[in-house]
Structure 1
Amino acid sequence: MTRSIVFFDIDGTLLNEQKRIDPSTKQAITQLQQSGIYTAIATGRCPASFKWVCEELNIQSFVSMNGQYVVFEGQVIHDNPIPAAEVDRLTTMADERNHPLVYLQADAMQKSMKHNTFTEALKQFQIERLPIRQVSDSNKPVYQILLFCNEQDGMEYAAHFPDYQQHRWHTHAVDFLHANTTKAVGLQKMIEHAGFSREHCYAFGDGTNDIEMLQFVGTGVAMGNASDDIQMHANYVTSSNNEDGIRNGLQAIGLI
């Protein structure tokens, strides 16, 4: 029997607007697992910020930082850090413009400075205090950087870093990462490693960084809270993350 795997985005998908997991979502994922369907996370977050999600949903495998760092049942099967020289170059440019950064590592998050916009934009992640990155931390791999700037400033960074992409998730914040890596790349690494077929691969998402993932899998499901630009890339559109979207979507595609 061919096994299926379902990937779930976190923010706007597994979590409701209160950044909590609805009981219906937890129950639906438990049903999947009990029926032998494998479940995994696919997120832009770093592992340190969603450990509690994995624990609550009994999920051991994930594609994190938009495909930069992939773990299957405790084993790192793919990692793609940003070169240290590029991290330093972005840091210098951001410092000159008073734009804060958050450096995402495999097991930690660090910030470059204190800033009101920085604090406000991070509220949705329920992270109140991050340590400031020190010179001694420069040897630790950084896989993705949160850059806090407006859209116009983001265009300036794009011109200076043509080999990198930005995913804007807040008026004043973007994910900064390799241009050649997406969640879909991470999904492919995992299913090849674990022996799943693309045809029996499913994904739920709601953001611009989910588009490639929704296109890659055999069946992509967009959340009802996703914009039309996201929904057009999915095979199905379920209800929103505040309206039992995970449960309803899994029922619609016949997995529960």
Structure 2
Amino acid sequence: MYEAIAFFDLDGTLLNGKSQVSAEVGEAITQLKKNKVLPIIATGRNEQEIQQIKQDAHITSTITMNGMIVKVDGTIIEASEIAPEQCESMLHFARNLQDELAFHSTEQLFISGVNEFVKKSYEFFHLELPPIHPQAYQEFPTNMILVLSEGNDTIYQEAYPEFTFYRNGPFCIDVVNKGISKGTGVQTVKDYLKLPDIPTFGFGDGINDVALLMACDNKIAMSNALPEVKEQSDYVTAKNTNGGIIKALKHYDLI
């Protein structure tokens, strides 16, 4: 049985500067599992985007799309959706602002169109452009929307109070149902495993990691983290590109 759970953000946290899992981090996760600690990825990305990462990190449990989908050992234990009519409304709203959207589901990922912000967003995360399918929300469940835009955050927030918006890069905003976060994913995992008192460790750097850290007993921020994340942390480790994950795992005697 597990003796602890460790939740890892990806970009700027578990991944290196090339958005990859280093061999050293992969080895550390393997040791973590030997020490009866369950490692879980907690990310804004969807399942399709992290298959190689999961393999390299030796991790099978995930909180994806900022808590909209939660899996333990590959089994979906929580799935939240955005209604098609809400997707359609936001698509028209975005187009009026000359923005495009991405529609994420558990396995599929489509974009509504391509402009400079779309290209820059996927280049920033070292990802290939998804297929263009503006009406994907009519064919597949939508678990998260991405607004591909350099700005307009406040405009979207005021127009759609039923959603939570996370600025997750210079050219994209994650959109999820209000009340859903990486933090709610932490509680979902604990409830599913029936381990209410198991110690939890959260690792993050971005604004969508604030809820993650707040939900965990031990809150670890990378030194490259935003000030808001560091304010919530118990411990600030080194940068993700300078052995920060391994340093923190050793600090807490997890490896």
The TM tier, using the shorter chain, reads: over 0.9
The residue that corresponds to 2:213 in the other structure is: 214
> Which residue of structure 2 aligns with residue 44 of structure 1?
44
Taking the aligned partners of 2:150 and 2:42, their CA distance within structure 1 comes to 26
Q: Which amino acid aligns with 2:110?
A: Q
1:137 deviates by: 5.1
- 1:35 equivalent in structure 2: 35
Q: Which amino acid aligns with 2:242?
A: E
* Partner SS for 2:140: coil
Q: Is the 8 A contact 1:198 1:217 kept in 2?
A: no
1:45 partner amino acid: R
> Matched residue of 1:239: which SS?
coil
Q: What is the CA-CA distance between 1:134 and the residue it aligns to?
A: 5.0
Matched, 1:180 2:179: yes
**SS at 2:202 equivalent:** strand
1:128-147 per-residue CA deviation (whole Å, 9 max, x = no partner) reads 23111154651311111110
The residue that corresponds to 2:85 in the other structure is 85
Contact 1:14–1:21 (Cα < 8 Å) also in 2:
yes
Q: Is the 8 A contact 2:26 2:58 kept in 1?
A: no
Alignment of 1:93-242 (within 5 A): 93-135=93-135, 138-151=138-151, 153-242=152-241
Offset at 1:198?
A: 4.8
Does residue 1:65 correspond to 2:50, yes or no?
A: no
Separation of aligned partners in 2, 1:209 and 1:136? 25
**Distance (whole Å) between structure 1 residues aligned to residue 44 and residue 190 of structure 2:** 18
For 1:111, the aligned partner's letter is I
Q: Partners of 1:136 and 1:44 in 2: how far apart? A: 19
Q: How many residues align?
A: 255
1:11 counterpart SS class: helix
Query: Equivalent residue of 1:190, what SS?
Result: helix
- Residues 191-200 or 222-231, more deviating: 191-200
Partner Cα distance (1:235, 1:123) in 2: 33
Q: 1:178 offset after TM fit, Å?
A: 1.3
Which amino acid letter does the alignment assign opposite residue 103 of structure 2? Y
Q: Which amino acid aligns with 1:59?
A: I
Runs of 4+ in 1 over 4 A off after TM superposition: none
Going from structure 1 to structure 2, the CA distance change for 1:87 and 1:243 (only over 3 Å counts) comes to same
Supply the distance in 2 between the matched residues of 1:20 and 1:2 (Cα, whole angstroms).
Answer: 27
What's the % identity of the aligned pairs?
26
CA distance in 1, matches of 2:189, 2:7: 11
